[in-house]
Amino acid sequence: MSFLEFSNISKTYPGVRALSGVSFGVEKGAVHGLMGENGAGKSTLIKILSGDQHADAGEISIDGKVQAYASTRDAFDNGVIVIHQELQLVPELTVAENLSLGRFPASAGVIARRRMLDDVGDKLKSAGIDIDMRRKIKTLSIGERQMVEIAKAVMLDARVIALDEPTSSLSSRESEVLFKLIDRLRGEGKVIIYVSHRLDEVFRLCDSLTVLRDGKLAAHHTSLKDVTRDKVVAEMVGREISDIWGFRPRKAGDVRLKVDGLSGARLRAPASFEARAGEIVGFFGLIGAGRSELMRLVFGADPRSGGTIAVDGKAVAAASPHDAIRAGVVLCSEDRKHDGIIQGRSIEENINISSRRHHTRFGVLSRVSEIATAETFIKKLKVRTPSRRQDIINLSGGNQQKVILGRWLSEQGIRVLIVDEPTRGIDVGAKSEIYELLYQLAEDGMAIVVVSSELPEVMGICDRILVMCGGRISAEFARDQFAERAILAAALPDKKTPDAIAS
Amino acid sequence: MTDRLKKILLGEQGLVVIFIVAFALVSLLVPNFLTDRNMLGLLQSVVTVGIVACTMMFCLAARDFDLSVGSIVAFAGMVAVMASNTTGSILLGLVAAIACGAVVGWVNGVVIAKFRINALITTLATMQIVRGMALISSDGRAVGINSPDFYQLALSKLLGIPTPIWVLAVLFAIFGFVLNSTVFGKNTLAIGGNPEASRLAGVNVDRTRIWIFTLQGVVCGIAGILLASRITSGQPNAAVGLELSVISACVLGGVSLAGGRATMSGVIVGVLIMGIAENAMNLLNIPAFYQYIVRGVILLLAVLLDNLRSSALGRR
């Protein structure tokens, strides 16, 4: 029996079987990777470990003793600590105060500052964490805050520490510091569960690995010696993915979208570009290069201060998304949660929100066509859901993206589809489905604009790439000119024009 | 057993079940409750709250708030009485009252949607402005109704049921339909769920919000007319605190203050629960002071129940 043992863990949410009969063990002094696509059940497993959720069946034991936590506090007291992506620190308090929260050394209610600082200082030192204890959390970088979270675990003499995607918002230098700390904790005999999407990190850090797929155990490796990356990817996806881009050449037709001298508050220079029927045009650039801003102007989401937009040769006012949609231009925003999904409403309503106007009479909806539309696109886009009535918030990122695509594809006469970071936070399997869909739409004569920060993605699926840098379009490459270095160079701010960096 | 009970109480129709049980209990335990006269009296007593709750539901569902309803009801009542007294035409009085309600509502809507002022602040301001206008127009005094025909609005009956109750029923039906079966209703719920995403999905958010407040004004106008008719005069101090009763009824009925969630059946039940509680306490001769406490407790319990239901559905 291993030090930390999961046996037969099952959990069902309304309409979703999140985990079924998952069993595996982790030894003391090991860093154990937990991988899987979005929706595979990683987070649920971690939530059960932390006492935040209760398993419907099965049990967790530590050091041979069965653990039953009523709450996260309970798990805490038993030495099990989960560090989430969203950190649980009080911004207005100092590092030392945060680390002592709930257990302030005090006499008659007055905090013994000296003692608090000494205690915390000792612990931080022994854990090798170098942070000024007197600083307020709000003044720390994300990486430093993560350190404080881990210090919290060290303070409590945790036996099991689970880290959920810890590097997702860290710079590579901050990640290195984190990895060193994890190595140290391993040396002290802690059990560390490391949840991550990133194969590089998992192979670098972990001694053993569990892969989940669709709530079931897909693979368990007690050693990573003879395991290849391709093998792990195949285990996550459930099949071999040879070429995730699956690019197919197409013939470009007439110009569909023509943007001329478009300018707005957040662009550095007026932007001009065009996209032809059947063409997939990529917009590459660093974060903040103005790509999303440009697309929002084209879609009428932000007010434009000059320039013209024409679709099929006809000028479009595009003073609002409302107008743009009527002219056949639609946008899938980069921030799905904030700008895309309508939380609390069903998949059916999320799909029909715009296109329903084609089926109404005097403002009264047609139930029949709403249901038919929803069912059609759930099937066509392979949205994984038990029912069209499911609240969209319960879907995984990839499925939410498909619903948003369904919203636009159910519109009539869409000519230009703009997708901003279409595969962000989406797992490999759903990614290739979305690419395939884009090819089909292009073949049907749509002009497609793809904004992405992932160079392999734009190079993989686009016919032409426009590069943006510092709020202006800096270069253009046709598919036969694609070269990683040249494209990247065009995206980096030029030292000769410092005003470009200022944005 | 307890699991099943939990499932029923926390399910979609939990509130309706609770309402039916409460109704049955009150009918059994409170003498004279389940009589024709008392039932009609009960319904009469919730007419004002019920009518205004129809549109308050839309307001809350779109993540907005309207505190000015009580003042608009009073002002519209004054306008109806004064305009029909001076012109001699009741119809003109009614039209004037509804128009005034609509204008105040429209102003609320424009300020909130176009100038992006917080709805709470905007309607807190109009609440006071409009109350002031009601007081100024009559110099603070009640204005009696000249024409007896005006009384008939509240006194007349159709099939033995007073007209105001019919008006309430018709408005319940209309707004229930509007919420569930029209683009306007669905857009309202979508805006409450996520305003920015709705805008980017092509919903004309500003126009929808202005319409919601304008309708709210119209409906307050109707409520003001019926109230004036029932109390046979325009009272500048009428319907003080109405906004709180209406919002309570909506929340009782499961309308989420965070927006995006509302049902007409829920609001009807919310309105009736408030009415029944008050009615039963009156029949039992419980002093008015205690009634405040009971109403507050009912509201708290309803919100707690709603909270339990949300977490049972796995939503945050």
> Is B292 a residue whose pLDDT tops 90?
no
Answer yes or no: pTM beyond 0.95: no
Put simply, the answer to whether B193 touches A367 (Cβ < 8 Å) is no
Q: What is the mean pLDDT of residues B66-84?
A: 93
Identify the pLDDT of residue A500.
Answer: 38
Joined together, the tokens standing for residue A372 give 């038919």
Whether residue B209 is contained in a domain is answered as yes
Distance CA A465, CA A13 (A): 43
User: Residue B11 burial by CB count (10 A; 0-12/13-18/19+): exposed, middle or buried?
Assistant: middle
Interface confidence, given as ipTM, is: 0.74
CB A278 within 8 A of CB A253: yes
Give the CATH number for residue B300. Answer: 1.10.3470
Q: What is the mean pLDDT of residues B132-160?
A: 86
CB B42 within 8 A of CB B218: no
Quick one: three-class SS letters along B44-89?
Answer: HHCHHHHHHHHHHHHHHHCCCCCCCHHHHHHHHHHHHHHHHHHHCC
Identify the pLDDT of residue A184.
Answer: 86
Distance CA B238, CA B232 (A): 12
Identify the pLDDT of residue B52.
Answer: 95
Identify the pLDDT of residue A502.
Answer: 37
Distance CA B295, CA B301 (A): 10
Average predicted confidence (pLDDT) for chain B = 87
Domain A4-237 matching CATH 2.40.50.180: the answer reads no
Identify the pLDDT of residue A33.
Answer: 93
According to DSSP H, which parts of A107-190 are helical? 113-127, 142-155, 172-187
Put simply, the answer to whether B204 touches A14 (Cβ < 8 Å) is no
Q: Give the Å distances, CA to CA, from B314 to A12, A403, B199.
A: 11, 21, 27
Strand pairing category for A280-284 and A464-469: parallel
List Cβ neighbours of B24 (8 Å cut-off, separation of 6 or more): none
Whether residue B11 is contained in a domain is answered as no
Q: Tokens 């046996």 identify what position?
A: A7
Whether residue B315 is contained in a domain is answered as no
Put simply, the answer to whether A341 touches B194 (Cβ < 8 Å) is yes
Ordered DSSP codes for B135-156:
HHHTTTS-EE---HHHHHHHH-
Ordered DSSP codes for B224-260:
HHHHHHHTTEE-TTTTTTHHHHHHHHHHHTT--TTSS
Nearest-by-CA chain A residue for B203: A322
User: Residue A240 burial by CB count (10 A; 0-12/13-18/19+): exposed, middle or buried?
Assistant: exposed
Distance CA A38, CA A439 (A): 24
CB A270 within 8 A of CB A243: no
Whether residue B6 is contained in a domain is answered as no
Q: C-alpha B294: how far from its chain's center? A: 20
Q: Which amino acid belongs to residue B199?
A: R
Identify the pLDDT of residue A469.
Answer: 84
Q: C-alpha A109: how far from its chain's center? A: 44
Specify the 3-state DSSP secondary structure of A346. strand
Q: Give the Å distances, CA to CA, from A133 to A94, A98, A184.
A: 7, 9, 21
Query: A490: how many CB neighbours lie within 10 A of its CB?
Result: 20
Q: Give CATH superfamily name and number for A252-328+413-503.
A: P-loop containing nucleotide triphosphate hydrolases (3.40.50.300)
Whether residue B114 is contained in a domain is answered as yes
Joined together, the tokens standing for residue A432 give 């290739």
Q: Which amino acid belongs to residue B265?
A: S
Specify the 3-state DSSP secondary structure of B25. helix
Put simply, the answer to whether A343 touches B204 (Cβ < 8 Å) is no
Q: Supply the angle between the helices B119-137 and B69-87 in degrees, to the nearest 10.
A: 30
Asked if domains A4-237 and A252-328+413-503 share a fold, the reply is yes
Identify the pLDDT of residue B53.
Answer: 94
What residues make up the domain containing B44?
A: 35-307
Identify the pLDDT of residue A181.
Answer: 85
Closest CA to B268 of B279, B256, B252, B282: B252
> Is B311 a residue whose pLDDT tops 90?
no
Put simply, the answer to whether A349 touches B182 (Cβ < 8 Å) is no
Q: Give the Å distances, CA to CA, from A436 to A25, A401, A431, A469, B302.
A: 39, 14, 9, 29, 49
Please, which pLDDT band fits residue B312 given cuts at 50, 70 and 90? low
Q: C-alpha B235: how far from its chain's center? A: 19
Joined together, the tokens standing for residue A342 give 């309508």
Put simply, the answer to whether B201 touches A407 (Cβ < 8 Å) is yes
> Is B131 a residue whose pLDDT tops 80?
yes
Query: A52: how many CB neighbours lie within 10 A of its CB?
Result: 16
CB A210 within 8 A of CB A217: yes
Show residues of chain B in contact with A401, CB under 8 Å: none
Joined together, the tokens standing for residue A487 give 């494209």
CB A50 within 8 A of CB A14: no
Identify the pLDDT of residue B12.
Answer: 63
Torsion over CA: B126, B132, B134, B136 (sign): negative
List Cβ neighbours of A54 (8 Å cut-off, separation of 6 or more): A48
When scoring A43, A86, A349, A353 by the number of chain B Cβ atoms within 10 A, the one with the most, hence best to mutate, is: A353
How many domains does the structure of chain B reveal?
1
Show residues of chain B in contact with A326, CB under 8 Å: 202
Closest CA to A464 of A450, A474, A453, A478: A478
A-B Cβ pairs (cutoff 8 Å, strict): 85
Nearest-by-CA chain A residue for B258: A344
Q: Which amino acid belongs to residue A303?
A: P
User: What is the distance between the terminal CA atoms of chain B, rounded to a whole angstrom?
Assistant: 27
Put simply, the answer to whether B190 touches A345 (Cβ < 8 Å) is yes
> Is B224 a residue whose pLDDT tops 90?
yes
Torsion over CA: A215, A344, B203, A336 (sign): negative
**Model confidence pLDDT, tens digit, residues B195-214:** 888 888 888 899 999 999 99
- Interchain CB contact of A365 with B (< 8 Å): yes
Nearest CB partner across the interface for B196, out of A14, A325, A339: A339
Joined together, the tokens standing for residue B109 give 């809507």
Q: How many CA atoms lie within 13 A of A423 on its CB side?
A: 23
**In this prediction, what percent of chain B has a pLDDT beyond 90?**
38
Put simply, the answer to whether B183 touches A365 (Cβ < 8 Å) is yes
The residues spanned by each domain of chain A are 4-237, 252-328+413-503, 341-412
List Cβ neighbours of A457 (8 Å cut-off, separation of 6 or more): A245, A423, A450
Dihedral angle computed from the Cα positions of residues A61, A54, A199 and A187, in that order, rounded to the nearest 10 degrees: -30
Whether residue B18 is contained in a domain is answered as no
Put simply, the answer to whether B314 touches A13 (Cβ < 8 Å) is yes
Show residues of chain A in contact with B203, CB under 8 Å: 322, 353-354
In order along its 503 residues, chain A shows pLDDT tens digits of 788 999 999 988 766 678 888 999 998 889 999 988 766 788 889 889 988 888 889 989 888 888 888 877 788 888 888 887 667 788 878 888 888 877 777 777 778 888 888 888 888 887 777 788 888 888 887 778 888 888 888 777 788 999 888 877 677 777 888 888 888 888 888 899 999 877 888 888 999 999 988 888 888 998 888 888 878 878 887 765 556 788 888 888 899 999 998 888 888 888 899 999 999 999 998 777 888 889 999 998 888 888 889 999 888 886 889 889 888 899 998 888 888 888 888 899 999 988 888 888 888 888 888 899 999 989 888 888 888 888 888 887 778 888 998 999 888 888 999 999 888 767 777 788 888 889 989 998 899 999 988 788 888 899 999 998 888 888 889 888 888 778 887 887 754 343 433 33
Whether residue B25 is contained in a domain is answered as no
Question: Using beta carbons and an 8 Å cutoff, which residues of B are at the interface with A?
Answer: 181-184, 186-187, 189-190, 192-194, 196-204, 256, 260-261, 313-315
**Model confidence pLDDT, tens digit, residues B23-37:** 899 888 888 888 888
